[in-house]
Amino acid sequence: MSKILIAVGGAGQEIALACLRLCHMSGIEIPTVLIVDSDQGAGRAGVLTRSDALQHFARFLRQTRDHDCIFPLRPLAENIRERQVGTLQSLFSPMRVTPPRVKEILSLLFTDNQQMTRIVDGFHGNPTVGSVAVEDFVIQGEFKEQLLDRIDMLTEPNVPHFVVLAGSTTGGTGPGVIPVLRPENS
């Protein structure tokens, strides 16, 4: 059986790091960890981020167990940058122009701050923004390729997968992404 831990957002990465440390210390099988976060590696100079700590531990595991187990996914990064999307509003602005009717609907659904949230570097503690951005990613057809196909590629074929989702119910990424990770997207 393939054991997979999908770490969503910062809290998910903290949980993954704790899980990996416990597995290593107890000598049990280390799961494959997929990190789903839009702002990995976006820390300030000289500040160790969760992503940095996980990558550091991944290097340790590679040296001590000759095992690669941590695979960061940045599902929104490539898709959004290709489409020249920077903010939540720009998801709905083809050719960088937001049609008046779309502006009206956006103003009913989101505050000005939410509309201008820079989704290319995180959801900034705003789950509404996160869920809309990730749902757009799913609608674009990227979900299956980026996450589900990646799970199949990293695990043995024709073997059941034991998958655990780890994340927070507060912040922006966990509550924004976890509801979108549902079976009908597979």
Domain parsing of the chain, residue ranges: 2-74+132-185, 79-124
Which of the two residues, 93 and 25, has the higher pLDDT score? 25
CA–CA dist 72, 104 (Å, integer): 37
**DSSP for 55-100?**
HHHHHHHHHHH----EEEE-HHHHHHHHTT--BHHHHT-GGG---H
Over residues 32-49, mean pLDDT: 70
Segment of 6-15, 99-108, 130-139 carrying the highest mean pLDDT? 99-108
What type of residue sits at position 132? V
pLDDT tens by residue, 74-113: 655 555 555 566 788 888 887 778 889 999 999 999 999 9
HSE, CB side, 13 Å, CA atoms: give it for residue 132.
Answer: 18
pTM: 0.77
What is the average pLDDT across 18-46? 81
Question: Coil, strand or helix: which one is 177?
Answer: helix
Distance (Å, rounded) from C-alpha 42 to C-alpha 161? 31
What is the identity of the amino acid at 61? L
